[in-house]
Amino acid sequence: MSKISCQCGHENPYGTELCEQCGRPLSKKAKESDIVDMRYEGASRRSQTYKSSIIDKIWNFFSSVKIGVGIIVAVLLASAIGTIFPQKFYVPATTDAEYAEYYERLYGVVGKFYFELGFYDMYNSWWFKVLIGMLATSIIIASIDRVVPLYKSLKKQRTRRHPSFMKRQRIYGEGAIENTAESFAKAEEELKKMRYNVKTENGAILAEKHRFSRWGPYVNHTGLIIFFVGVLLRGIPGFYVDEAMWIREGETRNIVGAPGYVLENKGFTLENYTKEEAEEVFGAALDKVGSIVKTYKTDVTLYKEKEGSLPGSDNLEKVEDYAIVVNKPLKFNGYNVFQMDYKLDELKTMTFHLVEKSSEASLGEFTVDLSNPEKEYDLGNGASVNMLGFYPDYDGIKDGEPYSKSPVPNNPAFIFQMNTPEKPTGEKSFVAIRQTLEVEQNDYAIKFAAAETRNISGLTIRKDKTLYILLLGGLVFMIGVIQGMYWQHRRIWIQEDADGHVLIAAHTNKNWFSLRKELDKLRQSTALPAYIDRQDPELDKPEQEGDEEIWT
Amino acid sequence: MVRKKNKKTIRLISRTALLLILAAIIVYAITSKDKVKVLAEGDKAPDFELVDLEGNAHRLSDYKGQGVFLNFWGTWCPPCKKEMPYMEDVYKDFEAKGVHILTVNVGEPKVKVELFRDDMNLTFPMLWDKNKTVMDLYNIKPLPTTFLINPEGKITKVIKQGMTEQQIVEYLESIQPK
Amino acid sequence: MDLVTISSNLLLVSFVAYLVATLFFGGAIKKSKSEKAYHNSKWGTIGLVITIIGFLTHVGYFATRWIASGHAPLSNMFEFTTAFGMMLVGAFILLYIMYRTPSLGLFALPIAIIIISYATMFPREVTPLIPALQSKWLFIHVITTVIGESILAISAVAGLVFLVKNIDMTKKSKQRFWIEAVMFTLVLVLGFVVTSTTFKVLGYEAEFTYIDKNEAPAEITYHVPPLFGMNEYEAMTPGAMTPWVELPPIINAQRLTSLTWSVAAGAVLYLLLRLIARKPLAAVFQPLAKKANSQLMDEIGYRSVLIGFPVFTLGALIFAMIWAHEAWSRFWGWDPKEVWALITWLFYAAFLHLRLSRGWEGQKSAWLAVIGFVIIMFNLIAVNLIIAGLHSYA
């Protein structure tokens, strides 16, 4: 790969379109064009240089913007397809068969294909991840390939450019003016006033501003890469905790995923808006929809294992009381505990009477705390009740014994022994909801009197060490897009050629309108040739003749 | 010319390296699934301290140098119930041989556990994990789950199902100190 | 008069102001020889002043409603869409001051008017906030997103002016077809407004019970005569029209009915307009766009994407993620609204790359801008109404 020598003597890398120093068009394409392509300053992108090995070919593939846009569009389409029907994680099913059934039942044949093609779990599919990976690869390689030559080229640019470069700029003008030197001095002064960096080189001016905006794309790409790294780190154990737990009112429980911390649920509150509090404003809306929830709240106390104690030892110290509401998670040591869900009205206590069957007289009542029942309930007057069996989720008799299918008190059943002065040896009774069984005819019975319920809070526990990395990625991205999009790299070249003609050319990477405004302002105070914008044929005729009325 | 060739090699190597790294990352991202570290065979068994139904504290580290058969269970779980008598049968013999059976109830009401024990005439220590701390510590999902911990304090096996009496004996023997 | 009423009246004032301002921008174009002669024309300046007055009363609506309800009025479809209309005008004012082109106003304001009319078709009661929305981020996230989307929408307006001006309406072509399709879509929105308003004035209501897709009984109210019945519907309002067909539970027949009425009314409206004009609507508007400078429209289109893209990123992705992390415990959950924000973002990213590196300027760029607007509107309307998700609070 040979270097390309320019007439000015500068050696340019292979593939260069415009000489890095003087701007002479070098390639055939550049020589033939009316307006030169100023992207990357006509510098040679590395990818275009070498096409020999397979690695170079892969490299060039990812370096191409066309491919990059293709990948973006592919991600876009895949994402869109993923929203047609609910994704797997919003579907109430667990097995593949259930999923298949769900999609087919609700969405028919289309749903069936949606499931079978794997679109129902689009964002976790391997090929979606491959697409994202390709996007990241493309961002990295395309940026590396462009930023280096652009940097070199902008660094090497000379103040005086070759006329063939000037003539091929979109904004160009030439003409003879009187008193060139004075005009140039004035122009330099005016340009500086407009906050341009002005360089001069015997009869040539290069005014430049906001070159930093050229780095915007590379900065924002860096931000994206940082973001991707953050997402990737979440896959490493320890960086990311995502757990959920149910905790009953009154329960004290280890916090899942947060070793060493214990939470006590002191009460769950679900509150609706009432008309009384804001009749005037919200009355109409409440009439229309019935009720609107105001708060989901779990009052908790957070405990921590004391230093040096072992897990499970119950050697706890209180950290704080807190009310977890939606949008206000409990935060400690990098963990966040969120209010996510709730279940209302699980049985908490049941109150019973001990009754003499014949007289229906009560010998007293006792209350069973279903989460912490007692062995014996003393009713006074010599009567007591012993707990012989407790089946919180009674599900019939199995192997000759009552069977509880879970530890949750959905359908509590008990075997009580009733001790009374009349029957000091006791009578046994099996008591379940709406059911009483007796081994032999009893004189006494246990009668259900009342029940209390409690609520369960569904909490989510998160710890995400990558959040700050993600945030940094977002910040860098924002800096990049703002520097690249809210500023423009503008350059104005003014020079006198060998024949005493004055040439003026200007370039900006965007926002030509403002550049023209600045040029017009410059021409107001300084005698400089009129210019044309060759991409705006609709510009008023008078302008080309030097009429300044329009843009003043 | 030599410099040029060098440059070309460097370019090839650096490009290959970058592409390979990126490819490896993509493969990693696709294959990695477990975000939570789960205790596995070969890990050190984390220490804990729980009280039994009588109120005596047990620490795992108390049994250093001896084998520990750590069984997590619940009263409502039929296979748990089934293997209890098997453990009862052999527990005394193995205690003499330096292997201890520790059962951990996963936070049911104490009375319920006591009724269960009395009903089944069990005499081995039943630890009561009332805050489910140790259950979470050992990432217990299905019940019963049994951990075999050797005299060095390492987990040698995790059994996530019920066991026969013979299996229990074999497992206990496997962690017997030599 | 209570605050809510004041608020509604202010909105009405701004609505009228935008209508009047549109006429002045039209006048500015009629009176000047070219796009660049406008600033000598008083018409354009008056148009701008009226627009600003309208914008200020619109902000007044926003502020009074905020004070009345105690939260930023961005919590339901009416409030969100109205704010979008407001910010669209705001973005227009910004770009008008930068470029001073009445053609932009002539197209931007009617679009804002259509959007606001569309907004008022939704329930307008002040609703208290559900727990998930009770956060300072409601205002920060939503307003930033709305501003970003509005600025991006201006690029579509500029693109539309460019296309209406430059597409040859005398010859049959794909472009001619599609630009007319855009016009037709705008008329359809008017059709929706016309039918909803008509039946609202008539006080039409028909209640039905039906069985929803989870096989649970439910009730629904139609505000237009029911063409399609819900799954296993039973009429509760005596004398209500009997639906033509009963639809399976997965399709919301009530919404389909509204859509059908709107499309029918829109189509009739469109045909009437065609009959009066005797040429495609795009051709009717062409003379109004003719004086716009194509290069300038192209630049405004590009510039507004450049200005809007970072704002959109900040509001719809970054702030959205921060809030989602606070409220839903995860910064990203592939909720349809989130995904469509990402799609919008990816689309404009592709737009910028195509323009920067592949030289897509002029017509291609204008079409992309129009498509971008379609995606934004899809996310605003369709995702809320059709695809259910966490954001479907309307």
Instruction: Give the model's pLDDT for residue C322.
Output: 92
3-state secondary structure at position A506? strand
* Average pLDDT of every residue of chain A: 86
- The pLDDT score that the predictor gives to residue C213 is 72
Residue with more model confidence, B123 or A477: A477
The answer to whether the CB atoms of A254 and B132 lie below 8 A apart is yes
The single residue listed with the structure tokens 């003087």 is A22
Pair type for strands A204-209 and A435-438 = unpaired
pTM across the whole model = 0.88
What pLDDT sits at residue C144?
96
Which residues in chain B are closer than 8 Å to A310, comparing Cβ atoms? 47-49, 59
Res A529: pLDDT: 85
* pLDDT at residue A49, rounded to an integer: 59
Partners of A416 on chain B (C-beta within 8 Å) are: none
- Select from A237, A240, A407 the Cβ nearest to the Cβ of B76: A407
pLDDT tens digits for range B88-98: 989 888 988 89
Query: pLDDT-based confidence at A380, cuts 50/70/90?
Result: confident
Degrees, nearest 5: CA angle C159-C160-C162: 65
DSSP string, C265-331: HHHHHHHHHHHHHSS-HHHHHHHHHHTS-HHHHHHHHHHHHHHHHHHHIIIIIIIHHHHHHHHSSSS
Average of per-residue pLDDT across A255-267: 91
HSE-up of A208 (CA within 13 Å, CB side)?
14
- Interface membership of B12 toward A (CB under 8 Å): yes
Q: What is the pLDDT of residue A53?
A: 80
Q: How confident is the model at residue A548, as a pLDDT?
A: 33
Q: How far is A463 from chain C (nearest CA, A)?
A: 10
pLDDT(A238) > 70: yes
Q: Phi and psi (nearest 5°) for A161?
A: -110, 160
pLDDT at C388: 52
Whether B contacts C, i.e. 3 or more CB pairs less than 8 A apart, is no
Q: Give the pLDDT score at A544.
A: 36
Chain B nearest CA to A417, separation (Å): 13
Least reliable range by pLDDT among A44-53, A157-166, A257-266, C78-87: A44-53
CB atoms under 10 Å from CB of A408, counted, come to 17
CB atoms within 10 A of CB A440: 6
Q: How confident is the model at residue A539 (pLDDT cuts 50, 70, 90)?
A: low
Please tell me the distance from the alpha carbon of residue B118 to that of residue C144, in angstroms, as a whole number: 66
Most confident of A56-65, B161-170, C84-93: C84-93
Which band of pLDDT confidence, cut at 50, 70 and 90, is reported for residue A552?
A: very low
User: Quick one: closest CA in B to A57, which residue?
Assistant: B15
A513 interfacial to chain C (CB closer than 8 Å): yes
Which chain A positions have a beta carbon within 8 Å of C330's beta carbon?
Answer: 242, 462
Which residue out of A327, A467, A479, A541 would a mutagenesis test of the C interface target, given it has the greatest number of C Cβ atoms within 10 Å? Answer: A327
Task: Give A152 to chain C, closest Cα distance, Å.
Answer: 19
pLDDT tens-digit series, residues A278-325: 667 788 788 777 788 889 999 999 999 988 888 888 788 999 999 999
Of C386, C164, C378, residue with least CA distance to C285: C164
Contact A478 C340 (CB under 8 A): no
Which B residues in the span 13-52 are in contact with A, Cβ-Cβ below 8 Å? Answer: 15-16, 18-19, 22, 25-26, 28-30, 32, 34-37, 46-51
Average pLDDT, chain C: 87
| Alpha-carbon distance A168 to nearest alpha carbon in chain C (angstroms) | 17
Rounded CA gap, A399 and B113, in Å? 19
Distance of CA A535 to the CA centre of its chain: 41
Sheet holding A435-438, edge to edge: A376-380, A383-391, A413-419, A427-432, A435-438
Cα distance between residue A272 and residue A19, in whole Å: 73
Judge whether residue B146 has pLDDT over 90: yes
Q: For position A50, what pLDDT does the model report?
A: 60
Q: Per-residue pLDDT for B62 more than 80?
A: yes
The answer to whether the CB atoms of A237 and B134 lie below 8 A apart is no
Which pLDDT value is given to residue C52? 96
User: B74 to chain A: which residues are within 8 Å by CB?
Assistant: 407
Among candidates A75, A481, A510 on the partner chain, residue whose Cβ is nearest the Cβ of C313: A481
The backbone torsions φ and ψ at residue A329, rounded to the nearest 5 degrees and listed phi first, read -70, 155
**Chain A neighbors of B26, CB-CB under 8 A:** 129-130, 133-134, 137
**Taking all residues of chain B, what is their mean pLDDT, rounded to a whole number?**
87
Nearest to B99, CA basis, from B141, B142, B151: B151
Pick from B30, B36, B74: CB nearest A407: B74
pLDDT level of residue A541 (50, 70, 90 thresholds): very low
- Rounded CA gap, A441 and A431, in Å? 14
Residue A256 reports pLDDT greater than 50: yes
Least confident of A44-53, A408-417, A527-536, B72-81: A44-53
Give me the pLDDT at residue C222, please.
84
Report residues of chain C scoring pLDDT below 50: 389-390, 392-394
Q: Is the pLDDT of residue A543 over 80?
A: no
Q: Is A79 on the interface with C (CB under 8 A)?
A: yes
Closest of A91, A82, A461 to residue A298, by C-alpha: A461
CB atoms B50 and A313 under 8 Å: yes
Q: What is the pLDDT of residue C20?
A: 94
- Residues with Cβ within 8 Å of A499's Cβ and at least 6 positions away in sequence, in order, are none
Residue range C23-65, pLDDT digits in tens = 988 888 877 666 555 555 788 889 999 999 999 999 999 999 9
For B36, the closest chain A residue by CA position comes to: A237
Q: Can you name the residues that pair with A335 across neighbouring β-strands? A: A332, A463
Q: Does the pLDDT of residue A1 top 60, yes or no?
A: no
